[in-house]
Structure 1
Amino acid sequence: MDIGVLVSQAFPYLGAVAVAYGGAVLQRLQDEATNSTVEVGRRLLARLLGREESRPAIEAAVTDLGEHPDDEDLQAAVRAQVEKVLAGDPELAAEIGRLLADAGVPGTARYAVTVTGSQGVQVGDGNTQTNTFGAAPA
C-alpha cells in the first residue's frame, strides 16, 4: 500500500484523538475512549508510539496538534512524522493498514476489485457462486 495514502487514511483518526484529549493526549492515551473514531486513533497512536526510535518526534507533533487542533501546519507535521515512520517500517505500515481495514475505514477494504464488462462478481472468503449466461447448453 502507498504510504501517502495510508497516512491520509490514518490522519483523521490521529487528529481526532489529539483533539479529544487536547494537550494531555499522551497522558490520556491509556484512558478508555467512547467515540469509535477516537478509539481507532488511540490504537493507531499507541502502535506508532511503540516504535522507540520515532517516539519523541511523534509525541511532540501529536502534543502540539492537541494544543492547537485547527493549525494546518501542525496537522501537516503529524502527517509528515507518521509518513516518515511508516516509510521506514514496512511491517508497521502493513499493521496500520490492517488496523484501519478492521475499523472499516473507507479505502482500506480487505479486497480491491475492478470489474469491467462483467455480468456478475462476488467478493469475500468461502463463497460459492454459479453464473449461467446466455442460452442453455443443448
Structure 2
Amino acid sequence: MDMDVTHTAAAVMPFVTAAVQTYGAMTLEKLRDGVIDGASGASADWGRRLLLRILGKGETQAGIEGAVEELAAEPQDEDAVAALRLQIRRALASDPSLQADVSRILVDASSATSQVSTDFRVTQSAASFGSSQQAVLGNGTQNVQFK
C-alpha cells in the first residue's frame, strides 16, 4: 500500500469522524440533501466536504457508506473508525486523482482548524464531538473524553 495513501486516509479521519459524530444516523442523508447545520463546527464541516468528495466515486461508494453507517451507530467504536479508514484508503488507492483532490482539501482544512505556537513550535488541530475531543499533535493523536 502506498504510504501517501495511508497517510492521507489517516489525516482524513479526524475530520470525517467529527462529521459522522455530529450528524449521527442522518450523516448520509444530510450529505445527499446538502443540508448543513450551521452549528456543526469547523472540523465537522471539513469532514462533510471530504466525505462528499470521497463518496463521489462509484465502486467504493457502497463500502464507505456502510462504514459511515456503522460509525454513526457506534461513534466510540475504534473498530468502526478503523473500518471507515480502510474503506477511505481503498477509495484513495483506486483513484489517484481522488487522492490528489482530498490532499488539497486537507491542506485547506488543516489551515482552517490549526493553531500554531511559534514559541514552542507546536502545531495542533482539534475536533470535538459530544463530550469528546480529538487532538492531533505532530504525528500522534490524543483522544480525550470529558465526563
Please indicate, yes or no, whether the TM-score normalized by the shorter chain is above 0.5.
yes
1:47 aligns with 2:48: no
Answer with 28-37 or 46-55: which moved more.
28-37
Answer with 96-105 or 42-51: which moved more.
96-105
Runs of 4+ off more than 4 Å? none
- Post-superposition offset of 1:104: 2.5
Match for residue 86 of structure 1 among 92, 100, 103 = 92
2:35 aligns to what?
31
- AA aligned to 1:67 is A
1:65 aligns to what?
71
- Post-superposition offset of 1:14: 0.7
| Rg larger in structure | 1
- AA aligned to 1:82 is I
Q: Contact (CA 8 Å) 1:61, 1:78: kept in 2 or not? A: yes
Structure 1: stretches of 5+ with no match in the other structure: 107-138
TM-score between both structures, scaled by the size of structure 1: 0.72
Secondary structure of the 1:104 match is helix
- Post-superposition offset of 1:52: 1.4
TM-score between both structures, scaled by the size of structure 2: 0.68
Judging by fraction of residues, say which structure has more strand: 2
Identity, in percent, stands at: 38
What is the root-mean-square deviation of aligned Cα atoms in Å?
1.5
Structure 2: stretches of 5+ with no match in the other structure: 113-147
Partners of 1:105 and 1:97 lie apart in 2 by 12
